[in-house]
DNA sequence: TTGAAAGCGCTAACAA
DNA sequence: TTGTTAGCGCTTTCAA
């Protein structure tokens, strides 16, 4: 391994002072174009890359962003990671991850000690951490810039991005209604996730708009797990008047519903229409493939990172909260209602 | 935000020199216990955390490990990440991720420029990157310590960890044979992944041991994707003499097989036994749930990290390559062979 | 517009 | 065994 190229080497080669090189590298004003050219060509010639640690030490920066998450859905997390990476790298930041367990009693302590021990320029929070008030308080207290993905609470006036879950759930419900379904069951997500409420609201909104009454008997509390989907499906499909469609708040639970339907010899979609949410791989890999909602997860990761970097650089952004549209992905688990009662 | 606590504050409070504090922090020898106590209590009192950037700048270290991957399987990657995090954090390292695309023509350049721009102490490689000779050469040339997860090639004598894929595939095949199956089809994985060969070898080994002939007609080339599983299944199940069992090299493909079976009105497992590999979430969320092989992925991530840190610290490790056992996960997609021809 | 010098927080080399 | 000093590679301050 050869000796590291430093800013001094560049300065010597370009015949300028180190400060001038620094100015050019950091795009500071007040450098004559001639100087800039000299520096740039020296940089290129030596393939010089400034040492982030040295830059950080002096400027109290790290060029590291941390993604904090506690989410059992690998498809979701990986897509957020990819989006965050893409944007971060484009702007010269690296991405550090810190998976944690939101049910852990010592969460705050754990995160706090992590943040102290490993400095970073900013933090990205995903659900359900986005809504963890203690965590937000901690970040505020420490003065660490952060953005949140899909938060429910917006008191803190911190930048956030999200997708329009309510509208998507509304659209999906409307679609189910358009297929002729009137007994549309709903399986809610985990009460700790704020998504849960938004999706449920969209469902209610659509029913309301079409003058369908809200039937508490066909609204079940799930927990975003496959098993909870099964449980709810068993309850729903054991009722005298079975729903003709079940809208589950995520794909895992929808897959659970599909399993139970098959066990009960119900044909999907002929006897029962199923809809999920998230467009995770399982929704494509079961049969029939599940009709679902696709969130722009990659984009959320990207934009959260973009906003975070703006905040770090003290630049302003038009909107504190940006909401992106989801899209319906129609697959084979949904069809026109065949029920004789309708 | 208050001023950062530095080693000087600790030294002042403890009434010693900064070097003594440094010695205690780094567990260097030749410090009297009395001094150690003084320093430790000052550290605790001030809640002092050394600045990794400053330590790194001086010692040419970063305390950052990078996980390099290019793998379409989120369950796998996230589990590796978690394992690597767990071990890394325990030893004072942070984990940076760098997802890349192994099919990208500029992969080497991309990684190279990433490595130059963002210094780290070591790199962990997962498949298929573990077998990318150019990448390995790059790391060797730059003198960056690395470990590989599940590599096939071991020329480079670098530490690696892996699971015993051949044995697991052998065990699974033997299990299928024990159920009375003799026409056991095999769907191979992507030719770029070295896992593919190991799994196929295990299959062949078992057939051989039980004097079952290798029938090329029921061995198909898949690509680890759901669609390739479907394609292979369609070919296999269109043959005059259908296999009674299909062993797919991963769960995605097994899910594809399951879908096709259902489309063809074959009952699983009554008419067809299906086995997968990887124990990803999809294997549990389809119905019937798929019999599969569980790799100790979390452990692989952990051990790869542990070995990497040893290498960084120039400590030795007994074995250059550690192999861990997989386990069979028997679910509902496999049963005793009912075929009348047997 | 440019440069010299100081210093970010820590550790290595050396001195006491 | 302990302390002093220099310096890692960069940016900031201030002077030219």
Q: How far is CA A105 from CA A102, A109, A134, A135, B86, in A?
A: 8, 9, 12, 12, 18
- For residue B314, what pLDDT is reported? 77
Q: Dump pLDDT digits (tens) for B173-216.
A: 999 999 999 999 999 999 988 889 999 999 999 999 999 999 99
pLDDT at B168 over 80: yes
Report d(CA B77, CA B71) in Å as an integer.
7
pLDDT band at A291 (very low <50, low <70, confident <90, very high): very high
Query: B226, A81: Cβ pair inside 8 Å?
Result: no
Q: How far is CA A152 from CA A62, A146, A175, in A?
A: 30, 15, 26
- For residue A156, what pLDDT is reported? 65
Mean pLDDT of chain A: 92
Residue B9 touches chain A, beta carbons under 8 Å = no
Mean pLDDT over B283-299 rounds to 97
Please answer whether residues A202 and A208 qualify as being in contact, where contact means their C-beta atoms are separated by less than 8 angstroms: no
> How many Å does it take to go from CA B61 to C1' D1?
27
Mean pLDDT is lowest, of A4-8, A98-102, B143-147, B234-238, for A4-8
- For residue A340, what pLDDT is reported? 57
Q: Where are the domains of chain A?
A: 7-50, 64-163+297-324, 165-295+328-341
Please answer whether residues A38 and A67 qualify as being in contact, where contact means their C-beta atoms are separated by less than 8 angstroms: no
Kindly report the number of other CB atoms within 10 A of residue B212's CB atom. 16
CA angle B325, B328, B329 (to 5 degrees): 135
- For residue B89, what pLDDT is reported? 92
Kindly report the number of other CB atoms within 10 A of residue B294's CB atom. 17
Which A residues between 25 and 84 have a beta carbon under 7 A from any strand C atom?
A: 29-32, 34-35, 54, 57-58
Touching B: A residues 235-294, CB under 8 Å: 252, 255-256, 258-259, 262-263, 281-282, 284-287
Q: Dump pLDDT digits (tens) for A123-136.
A: 999 988 999 999 99
Mean pLDDT over B263-267 rounds to 95
A4 DSSP assignment:
P
- For residue A287, what pLDDT is reported? 94
Residue A57 touches chain B, beta carbons under 8 Å = yes
A314 DSSP assignment:
T
Strand A146-149's sheet: what is its strand order? A321-324, A160-163, A146-149, A122-125, A64-69, A94-99, B94-99, B64-69, B122-125, B146-149, B160-163, B321-324
- For residue A342, what pLDDT is reported? 40
pLDDT band at B340 (very low <50, low <70, confident <90, very high): low
Residue A106 touches chain B, beta carbons under 8 Å = no
Secondary structure class of A244 (helix, strand, coil): coil
- For residue A319, what pLDDT is reported? 79
Please answer whether residues B256 and B230 qualify as being in contact, where contact means their C-beta atoms are separated by less than 8 angstroms: yes
Answer positive or negative: Cα dihedral of B103, B107, B110, B116: positive
> Quick one: B64-163+297-324 is in which CATH superfamily?
Response regulator (3.40.50.2300)
- For residue A313, what pLDDT is reported? 85
B221 forms beta bridges with B188
Question: Which residues of chain A are within 8 Å of residue B259 when distances are taken between CB atoms?
Answer: 285-287
Report d(CA B314, CA B311) in Å as an integer.
5
From the number of C-beta atoms within 10 Å of its C-beta (0-12, 13-18, 19+), residue A145 rates as buried
- For residue A172, what pLDDT is reported? 98
Tokens linked to A158: 């911190």
- For residue B207, what pLDDT is reported? 97
Q: Name the residue with tokens 């190279």.
A: B112
Residue A143 touches chain B, beta carbons under 8 Å = yes
Q: A106 Cβ partners below 8 Å, 6+ apart?
A: none
Query: B78, A82: Cβ pair inside 8 Å?
Result: no
- For residue A325, what pLDDT is reported? 97
Q: How far is CA A210 from CA A174, A182, A203, A219, in A?
A: 8, 9, 11, 18
Q: Dump pLDDT digits (tens) for A154-178.
A: 766 789 999 999 999 999 999 999 9
For residue B161, the number of C-alpha atoms closer than 13 Å in the C-beta half-sphere is 26
Q: How far is CA B307 from CA B42, B81, B88, in A?
A: 33, 15, 11
Secondary structure class of A122 (helix, strand, coil): strand
Report d(CA B61, CA B42) in Å as an integer.
25
Mean pLDDT over B256-268 rounds to 96
A149 forms beta bridges with A161
Q: B1 to chain A, minimum CA–CA distance in Å?
A: 6
Q: A124 to chain B, minimum CA–CA distance in Å?
A: 14
Tokens linked to B116: 């130059």
Secondary structure class of A20 (helix, strand, coil): helix
pLDDT at A206 over 70: yes
> How many Å does it take to go from CA B92 to C1' D12?
31
To the nearest whole percent, how much of chain A has pLDDT over 90? 76
Q: B334 to chain A, minimum CA–CA distance in Å?
A: 17
Decide if B64-163+297-324 and B165-295+328-341 have a common fold.
yes
CA angle B240, B241, B243 (to 5 degrees): 130
Query: A287, B262: Cβ pair inside 8 Å?
Result: yes
Q: What is the 3-state secondary structure (H, E, C) of chain B?
A: CCCCCCHHHHHHHHCCCHHHHHHHHCCCCCCCHHHHHHHHHHHHHHCCCCCHHHHHHHHCCCCEEEEEECCCCHHHHHHHHHHHHHHHHHCCCEEEEEECCCCCCCHHHHHHHHHHHCCCCEEEECCCHHHCHHHHHHHHHHCCCEEEECCCCCCCCCCEEEECHHHHHHHHHHHHHHCCCCCEEEEECCCCCHHHHHHHHHHHHHHHHCCCCCCHHHEEECCCCHHHHHHHHHHHHCCCCCCCEEEECCHHHHHHHHHHHHHCCCCCCCCCEEECCCCCHHHHHCCCCCEEEECCHHHHHHHHHHHHHHHHCCCCCCCCEEEECCEEECCCCCCCCCCCCC
Mean pLDDT of chain B: 92
- For residue B73, what pLDDT is reported? 87
CATH (one of 1.10.1200.10, 3.40.190.10, 1.10.260.40, 3.30.465.10) for B7-50: 1.10.260.40
**CATH no. for B165-295+328-341:** 3.40.50.2300
Tell me which H or E stretch contains A275.
strand A273-275
Task: For strand D, give the nucleotides within 7 A of a protein CB.
Answer: 1-5, 7-13
| pTM, full prediction | 0.91
Tokens linked to A282: 């399982």
Name the protein residue, with chain letter, whose CA is nearest the C1' of C2: A20
Please answer whether residues A24 and B21 qualify as being in contact, where contact means their C-beta atoms are separated by less than 8 angstroms: no
pLDDT band at A1 (very low <50, low <70, confident <90, very high): very low
pLDDT at B1 over 50: no
A65 forms beta bridges with A95, A122
Q: Dump pLDDT digits (tens) for B58-86.
A: 888 899 999 999 977 899 999 999 999 99
Report d(CA A290, CA A229) in Å as an integer.
14
């Amino acid at each position: 391994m050869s000796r590291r190229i430093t800013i001094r080497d560049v300065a010597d080669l370009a015949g300028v002072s180190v400060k001038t090189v620094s100015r050019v590298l950091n795009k500071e004003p007040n450098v004559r174009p001639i100087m800039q050219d000299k520096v740039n060509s020296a940089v290129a010639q030596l393939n010089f890359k400034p040492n982030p640690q040295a830059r950080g030490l002096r400027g109290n920066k790290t060029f590291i962003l941390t993604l904090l998450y506690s989410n059992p859905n690998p498809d979701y997390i990986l897509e957020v990671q990819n989006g965050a990476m893409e944007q971060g790298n484009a702007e010269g930041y690296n991405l550090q991850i810190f998976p944690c367990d939101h049910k852990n009693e010592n969460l705050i302590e754990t995160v706090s000690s992590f943040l102290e021990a490993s400095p970073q320029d900013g933090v990205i929070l995903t659900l359900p951490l986005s809504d963890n008030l203690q965590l937000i308080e901690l970040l505020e207290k420490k003065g660490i810039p952060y953005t949140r993905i899909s938060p429910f609470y917006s008191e803190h006036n911190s930048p956030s991005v999200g997708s329009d879950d309510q509208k998507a759930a509304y659209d999906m419900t409307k679609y189910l209604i358009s297929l002729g379904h009137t007994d549309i069951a709903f399986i809610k997500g985990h009460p700790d996730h704020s998504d849960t409420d938004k999706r449920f609201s969209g469902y209610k909104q659509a029913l309301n708009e079409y003058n369908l009454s809200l039937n508490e008997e066909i609204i079940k509390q799930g927990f975003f797990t496959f098993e909870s989907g099964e449980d709810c499906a068993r309850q729903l499909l054991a009722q005298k008047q079975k729903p003709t469609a079940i809208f589950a708040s995520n794909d895992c639970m929808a897959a659970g519903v599909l399993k139970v339907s098959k066990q009960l010899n119900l044909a999907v979609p002929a006897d029962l229409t199923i809809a999920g949410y998230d467009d995770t791989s399982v929704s494509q890999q079961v049969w029939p493939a599940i009709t679902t909602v696709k969130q722009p997860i990659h984009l959320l990761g990207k934009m959260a990172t973009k906003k975070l970097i703006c905040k770090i650089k003290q630049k302003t952004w038009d909107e504190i909260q940006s909401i992106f549209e989801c899209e319906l992905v129609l697959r084979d688990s949904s069809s026109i209602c065949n029920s004789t009662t309708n």
